Amino acid sequence: MRSTYTRSPDRLFLVHAVIRRLRGRGYWSAHQAAKATYFGNGRLHRQQRRRVRFILDRYVEAGILERDDTIAACPLYRHRDVSLEDVDLDMVEKFEQHAARRRMTPSYEMNLKMLDHYLDTIVPRDADPELFNEHGHLLDRELKAWRELTRAKSERPRVLGYLGAGSLI
């Protein structure tokens, strides 16, 4: 079986830049944050999504992000309005150390430019929470309406007359 996943350089250090750029955009899912972090990779591997979700949960523990499990089919995140007293400073220092592991190189600068370029297409501003499916993908309104229309059970037509039980004898 052929794999649909693609290999590329690890870009997990970009997750901090993604989270910083998502401030003020409203709700977004872990899948969107992972897709923005690993842009251009094609299909995301489960381990990449798991690593991004782990970092997002650490941001929630630090008090920077807020996680909401009730408004959509998947957990959604958004930034909280915080002050220095509300944040765990030890975790913030660890985040900064993880983000600063990479030195500024031309490829790193290009990654940040590409991230700024693709962020609006991956994570739109103020997306409606009801448009997220259970996997964290953001559905288009027309697609969601079409899916709900096709899920509605249609009445099966009943054929009477020559297919009745008496006509076959």
Q: Tell me the pLDDT of the chain averaged across its residues.
A: 78
Tell whether the model's pLDDT for residue 153 goes beyond 80: no
For the chain, give me the number of helices (H) and strands (E)?
Answer: 6, 3
If one counts every other C-beta atom within 10 angstroms of the C-beta of residue 98, the result is 15
Start-end of H helices in 22-71: 30-37, 46-62
Confidence band, pLDDT 50/70/90 cuts, at residue 56: very high
Per-residue model confidence (pLDDT) at position 57 = 92
Please state the domain extents for the chain.
12-142
Residues 136 and 30: beta-carbon distance below 8 Å: yes
Q: What is the pLDDT of residues 99-141, one digit of tens each?
A: 777 777 787 788 888 888 888 788 888 888 888 888 888 877 6
At residue 100, the pLDDT reads 78
pTM check: above 0.85: no
C-beta separation of 115 from 14 below 8 A = yes
Neighbouring C-alpha atoms within 13 Å toward the C-beta of 116: 5
